[in-house]
Structure 1
Amino acid sequence: MNNPSDSQPHSPVHYCERTYRQRVCRVGLHAFQVVCQETDLMVQADRLLDDEAREQVLVCRGQIDGYIQRYPNFAVTLAPWREPAFAPEIVREMIRAGSAAGVGPMAAVAGAVAESVGRKLLDYSRHVVVENGGDVFIKAKGPVVAGLFAGRSPLSMKMGINLPDTRDGIGLCTSSGTVGHSLSTGSAEAVSVVSHSCALADAAATAIGNRVRLPRDIKAAIAFGKQIAGVLGVVVVAGREMGAWGQVELVSLKGKKG
């Protein structure tokens, strides 16, 4: 993946360095970055869709920002938000995801935007990967391996999560108490969640990560994650230890390129 300032910003993906932005790489897809205010996406698709992606980001931001102007507490609450009778669909999706996981709706915002943009781009491209701050919406033919980025843990980018079927689109979201801007009360290096709803995966990753302060908390945190309806799989990394449950197949990334 190249930045827009690079000399060849839109070349097809053949190899991706192993960073949190480049955990999912599909050979032959075009990669491009879309930045709009605080939203910063890395997108892969069959062709360049910068304008279409940016337009959908603006739609999402307009709907969320407009709702926050009416209800300022929506942006800061850490508790589930009561679903109103009238609200934009992306806001309702965030509310439902936060309620399912027991967290505030903004815990789902990155995943919700990633999926909204990704599904819009499916009008123009058969294959789409949208990454938004470590939260990824994926729809691709065949299995996809996503690298597990876990900051300073020795396990970081040594293992990947194999997703055998993304035909209808799937969310893979990661929260960390030690890396990035995720708001977490825990200290796990990474909590990754798989769900058909990217918003739910995002909210659930936050809720599960809040319960991990030491490696010994991994088992209980995963047990909590199992109870969240719609969660398909969970991976937790804390220090040198890892736990996993559900529809996640862990694979070695040794020697993999993209």
Structure 2
Amino acid sequence: MVYKERTYRKNFRQSDLVHFQVVIKETDLDIGVYRKRYSPELVKLAEKITLKYRTQLEEYIKIHPEFLTSLQPLQVKSGAPAIARQMADAAKKAGVGPMAAVAGAVAEAVGMELLRHTREIIIENGGDIYLKSNRKRRIGIYAGQSPFTEKIAIEIPPELTPLGICTSSGTVGHSLSFGRADAAIIISANTSLADAVATATANRVQNPEDVQTALEFAINISGITGAVVIKHDKLAAWGNVKIVHI
């Protein structure tokens, strides 16, 4: 698969980290690591780890194809890999199919292993981020045609990491959404959960007036620590979220 630049990635890339890409089939990771720890060997390791988790999911889906297609929560079967169980648990809390958590789950799984080799890491996978940092970070918000796009960011202090910052949109990208949110951004220590809840939250937005009710849905799920919902010029936010101008 040929790597294609995703222009929104400039909103989260960090100038003090070295960024590289890992692309395996549909999986397209942008990985930033502590500059002194970057090496060609680390890139190869990241590719190996990513392939491992992709293979685990692919093998499970071959036997249980409903895991790939279901839009409702599923109970995983005996022998399911840990990453599939994490996805299913997150999806159950959010009320969505398990694949709604796949990007966040892969980002977190790869990131946790790479943290054995670098003290800081940021992994973006389809708009979903796993972050471990020793300094304050700003993650820019991309919300399509909304006037908030590239005007604001979420500021993350180091003591809150590692965590997941996941975004779902009904107006940006190709991911399945039943809503029309410009962005539903969910923060959680569990990146799989943040991903699944972002999908479920975005599904609840059709009009600007829906941002508050969608936000209330997200904040009532245990494990969610912050949320931002955007539709056009309406924004609702809650929790451990500091929004700053950029």
Q: TM-score, normalised by structure 2?
A: 0.93
Which residue in 1 is equivalent to 2:22?
34
Verify: 1:250 aligned to 2:238, yes or no. no
SS at structure 2 position matched to 1:171: strand
Q: Give the distance between the partners of 2:160 and 2:208, measured in 1 at CA.
A: 34
The Cα of 1:26 is off from its aligned counterpart by 2.5
Q: Give the distance between the partners of 2:187 and 2:47, measured in 1 at CA.
A: 25
Partner of residue 148 from structure 1, selected from 138, 141, 148: 141
Partner of residue 62 from structure 1, selected from 49, 52, 55: 55
Instruction: Give the structure with the larger helix fraction.
Output: 2
Q: Which moved more, 1:181-190 or 1:26-35?
A: 26-35
SS at structure 1 position matched to 2:158: coil
Change (3 A) 1:30 1:84: same
The Cα of 1:163 is off from its aligned counterpart by 1.1
Provide Cα deviations, 1:144-178, integer angstroms capped at 9, x if missing partner. Answer: 11001101111101010111135641100000001
Q: Give the distance between the partners of 1:166 and 1:114, measured in 2 at CA.
A: 20
The Cα of 1:83 is off from its aligned counterpart by 3.5
Which residue in 2 is equivalent to 1:77?
70
Q: Give the distance between the partners of 2:153 and 2:245, measured in 1 at CA.
A: 6
Change (3 A) 1:85 1:4: closer
SS at structure 2 position matched to 1:82: coil
Change (3 A) 1:141 1:217: same
Where do residues 197-236 of structure 1 align in structure 2 (5 Å cutoff)? 197-236=190-229
Cα contact 2:32–2:121 (8 A) shared by 1: yes
Which residue in 1 is equivalent to 2:168?
175
Which residue in 2 is equivalent to 1:184?
177
Cα contact 1:21–1:133 (8 A) shared by 2: no
**Aligned partner letter, 1:222:** L
**Aligned partner letter, 1:24:** F
The Cα of 1:84 is off from its aligned counterpart by 3.3
Provide Cα deviations, 1:166-209, integer angstroms capped at 9, x if missing partner. Answer: 56411000000010122110001100000001111100000000
Q: Give the distance between the partners of 1:177 and 1:4, measured in 2 at CA.
A: 24
Partner of residue 105 from structure 2, selected from 109, 112, 132: 112
Q: Give the distance between the partners of 2:4 and 2:99, measured in 1 at CA.
A: 31
**Aligned partner letter, 1:75:** L
Cα contact 1:19–1:149 (8 A) shared by 2: no
Which residue in 2 is equivalent to 1:10?
none
Cα contact 1:4–1:32 (8 A) shared by 2: no
When the two chains are superposed, the root-mean-square deviation of aligned CA atoms in Å is: 1.8
Q: Give the distance between the partners of 1:182 and 1:152, measured in 2 at CA.
A: 17
Cα contact 2:139–2:155 (8 A) shared by 1: yes
Aligned residues: 240
Partner of residue 33 from structure 2, selected from 41, 45, 48: 45
Q: Give the distance between the partners of 2:11 and 2:131, measured in 1 at CA.
A: 12
Cα contact 2:170–2:177 (8 A) shared by 1: yes
Where do residues 12-31 of structure 1 align in structure 2 (5 Å cutoff)? 19-31=7-19
Q: TM-score, normalised by structure 1?
A: 0.89
**Aligned partner letter, 2:57:** I
